[in-house]
């Protein structure tokens, strides 16, 4: 693996090990950011679901209104034929 990396022009850098305090601090920061990101993503999902529900309800209301208007038109046409 190292030979392949060298062939591609990458040089390995030495990484100093972290002490326990620094590792705990970085871990806590990463965990905190992950929680904030997760909550933000969940809020976006809930807002999307709410908007989709509202849109679906409006579409159903419009469809019901169109059916009602169609029924009324049909009744008026039948009354005209009767006259």
pLDDT at 46: 98
Mean pLDDT of 41-46: 98
Spell 28-64 as b/e; 16+ CB within 10 A means b. Answer: eeeeeeeeeeeeeeeeeeeeeeeeeeeeeeeeeeeee
In this structure, are residues 26 and 18 in contact, taking their beta carbons and an 8 Å threshold? yes
Q: Which two tokens stand for residue 46?
A: 């809930």
pLDDT at 11: 74
Reported residue count of the chain is 83
Instruction: Determine if the pTM surpasses 0.85.
Output: no
């Amino acid at each position: 693996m190292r030979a392949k990396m060298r062939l591609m022009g990458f040089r390995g850098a030495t990484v100093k090990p972290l002490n326990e305090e620094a590792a705990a601090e970085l871990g806590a920061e990463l965990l905190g950011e992950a929680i904030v990101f997760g909550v933000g993503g969940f809020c976006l999902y809930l807002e999307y679901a709410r908007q989709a529900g509202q849109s679906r309800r409006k579409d159903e209301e419009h469809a019901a209104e169109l059916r009602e208007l169609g029924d009324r038109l049909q009744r008026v046409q039948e009354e005209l034929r009767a006259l």
